[in-house]
Structure 1
Amino acid sequence: MDSELYKNIANSTAHRASREQNADFILNNPELFSDFLKLAFDTNDKNHHKACWILELVLEEKIHFLTPFLNQFCNKITNYTNESALRSISKICLFLAKHISLSKIQDQKIIEACFDWLIIENGKVATKAYSIRALFEFGKKSDWIYPELQRILSEDYVKHSAAYKAVAREVLKKIK
C-alpha cells in the first residue's frame, strides 16, 4: 500500500473533516482504490475501521468503484467485528441494495449479514438501522424478507432505543 496513504489513514480521526480529506484523496487518485480497499478488508490491521469510515464516504460518491470487488466485499463482510467498521460496512450494504445490481449469491451474502447484524444481542443501533433499511430494499426483490423482517422488528421493538424504534416504525409502515 502507498505509505503516504496508509500514514494518512492511520492518523485520521472520526471527525467528518478528517474522513472527508482522506476520501477526497482516494476520489482524486482512483488508482489507489484497490490498495486502499485491501486495508479496509484486512480486519487484522488495527486501522481497518478507519479505512472503512473513509470507504463509506468514497462509495457514497462513487459506488461503482466497488463493482470489480463485489465478490471480495461480499465474502469479507462477515469478518467484521469492530462496531466502528460495522457501521460503515452496513451503510455500504445499503448503498449496494439501492444502487447496484448484484448476483443472487451477492444478494444472499449481504442479506444474511444484515440479518445477523440485526439480531446480534449487543450490536449498535446505527449498524442495525442500516441493516434494516438495506433489508427493506432487498425485500423489494425477495418476497421472503419482509415477513422475516417484520417478525424480528416486532419482537425486538421493546428491547431497543428510541432511535431503533423510529427506524423500525418507519420500515414497518412501508412494509404494510
Structure 2
Amino acid sequence: MTLEEFHKELSYLNASRENRMKYANMVLNDMSLFPKLIDILFMVDDKVSCRAAWVFEFVCANYIYAVVPYLEIFTKNIKNVHFDSAVRPISKVCEFITKAYYSKTPNTIKQTLNPEHRERIIEACFDWMISDQKVAPKVYAMESLFLYGTDYDWIHTELAQILDRDFPMQSAGFKVRAKRTLSKIKKCKTS
C-alpha cells in the first residue's frame, strides 16, 4: 500500500474503539505500514493526522517496541502536533515510552531511548502542562514527568510548581491526579 493509499484508507477511520483497533491490527499485521503511519501522523496540518495518531496509540499500546526504530523521528516531531485529538494519543505514547524506560525489566526502550530523546519528551510534556491542553494530555505528561523526575530533581520541582499554580483552575480529574502526583513527589523527597 502506498502512502497515498494508506492516507486515503485512514480518512475513512472513525473514532470508535473497534475501528481504531481494526486499523491498528492492519498495521501490526503489516509493519511496512508503520513508517507510513508515522509520516501521516506528522502531517500535522492535515485532519487525517489525528486518525493516524489514534491508530499509532493503539499500535504502541499493543507493541511499544514498534516505535524503537523511529524514536528519533518521533521525538523530533512531537512538538509540532497541535490538534487536540492528535495531542492526546501522542502524549499517551510518550507515557508508554517513559513507563517502558523506567520498567524494572530489561527492554529495548531502555537501551535505545537516549538522553536527547528523553529531553525532547520532557520538553513536550512540560509544554502540554503549561499550555491550554485538555486534561488527558496533562495527566499523561504529569505521569511521564514524575518518572523522569526520579532521575532529574529539577523536574519534580518544576512539576510541583506547575501543579500547585494550576490546581485551583483545573477540572476534578486533573485535581485528583495532581494530588496523587504531588504526594508521590513529596514521598520521593523524603526517601
Q: TM-score, normalised by structure 2?
A: 0.87
Residues 37-61 of structure 1, C-alpha deviations (whole Å, 9 max, x = no match): 1111211322001100110010011
1:161 corresponds to: 171
Report if the CA contact (8 A) 2:6-2:36 is conserved: no
CA distance in 1, matches of 2:126, 2:39: 25
1:106 aligns with 2:117: yes
**Conserved 8 A contact 1:94-1:134:** yes
Q: Does residue 183 of structure 2 align to residue 173 of structure 1?
A: yes
Q: Is the 8 A contact 2:139 2:177 kept in 1?
A: yes
Q: SS of the residue aligned with 1:144?
A: helix
Distance 1:36 1:143 in 2: 36
Report the counterpart of residue 154 of structure 2 in structure 1. Answer: 144
Would the aligned equivalents of 1:8 and 1:22 in 2 still touch at CA under 8 Å?
A: no
What is the match of residue 67 of structure 1? 68
When the two structures are aligned, how many residues end up with a matched partner? 175
For residues 1-176 of structure 1, what are the structure 2 equivalents within 5 Å? 1-99=2-100, 100-101=109-110, 102-120=113-131, 122-176=132-186
Q: Using the alignment, how far apart are the partners of 1:2 and 1:116 within structure 2? A: 30
Q: Distance in 2 between matches of 1:129 and 1:69?
A: 24
- Structure 1: runs of 5 or more not aligned: none
- RMSD (CA atoms): 1.2
Stretches of structure 2 lacking an aligned partner (at least 5 in a row): 101-108, 187-191
Deviations 1:83-131 (A, max 9, x none): 11000110011011111332111111110110011011x2111111111
C-alpha distance in 2, partners of 1:45/1:95? 25
Measured after TM superposition, the shift of residue 2 of structure 1 is: 4.6
Instruction: Calculate percent identity across the aligned residue pairs.
Output: 38
Secondary structure of the structure 2 residue equivalent to 1:163: helix
